[in-house]
Homo-oligomer: A and B are copies of this chain.
Amino acid sequence: MITSCAFEFEEYLQVVQSFHGYAAPGVIIGGFMVNLGKGHLSEKTPFRAICETTVCLPDAIQLLTRCTIGNNRLKILNFGRFALSLYDQNRGNGFRVFLDPKRIDEWSEIKCWFFKLKPKAEQNMELLMAQIKKAGETLCDIHPVQVRPGLLKKEERGEIVICPCCHEAYPAEERGVCRGCQGESPYTVTVLPERHVEASET
């Protein structure tokens, strides 16, 4: 029986559906990739993850390891490659797993999906999922890697201060005002809370 880590295949589909919103092929294949990588590490190795794409794969890593965006154990370096690395958080040695285009070649519907050879509406989802389930980790290749020392350093978070502009807390190292107030805000209209309006009027 092919499984994605701790889950049976069908169970993993449900977990993905619940977290990711739907059983996306990339998260399903990602399950096999995480599984393959974890299998190469000693069970006791405290590890972290690098993901080389923002698409789908980060969710497989977050669901099947203790590496998440919010706990800083998962780093996304968006090279647009469907690849991930799991590595010893102290020594930096680990394994990189990637989806191998040559191995995909044998699977018609996976190839169509991955290389976007047909519009989404014309893809056969049932066949695609059947092929993914059958192919499993044979779609991937794995090789050892050594992560650069700079990436292993623990990020020290410095002093927290109040931004004189928005009155929110931000890292002092930014100096002056926070980055949001430096013009990088994603919002066109920001209605400040009444409290702030009052504060500026006094």
Contact = CB atoms under 8 A, between A and B. Distances in A.
A79 B160 CA distance: 12
A198 B115 CA distance: 25
Interface stretch (A32-40, A126-134, A171-179): A171-179
B70 A20 contact: yes
A91 interface: no
B141 A195 contact: yes
A143 B69 contact: no
Contacts of A83: 168
A102 interface: yes
A59 interface: yes
Contacts of A54: 69-70, 72
A145 interface: yes
A186 interface: yes
B191 A79 contact: no
A81 B180 contact: yes
Q: How many copies does the complex hold?
A: 2
A148 B146 CA distance: 40
A24 to B, nearest CB: 7
A187 B146 contact: yes
A41 interface: no
A103 to B, nearest CB: 9
B70 A58 contact: yes
A115 B160 contact: yes
A52 interface: yes
A147 interface: yes
Interface string A130-169: 0000000000011111111101000001011011001111
A55 interface: yes
A70 B21 CA distance: 10
Interface of A: 19-21, 24, 26-27, 50, 52, 54-60, 62, 66, 68-73, 75-83, 85, 96, 98-102, 114-116, 141-149, 151, 157, 159-160, 162-163, 166-171, 174, 178-180, 184, 186-193, 195
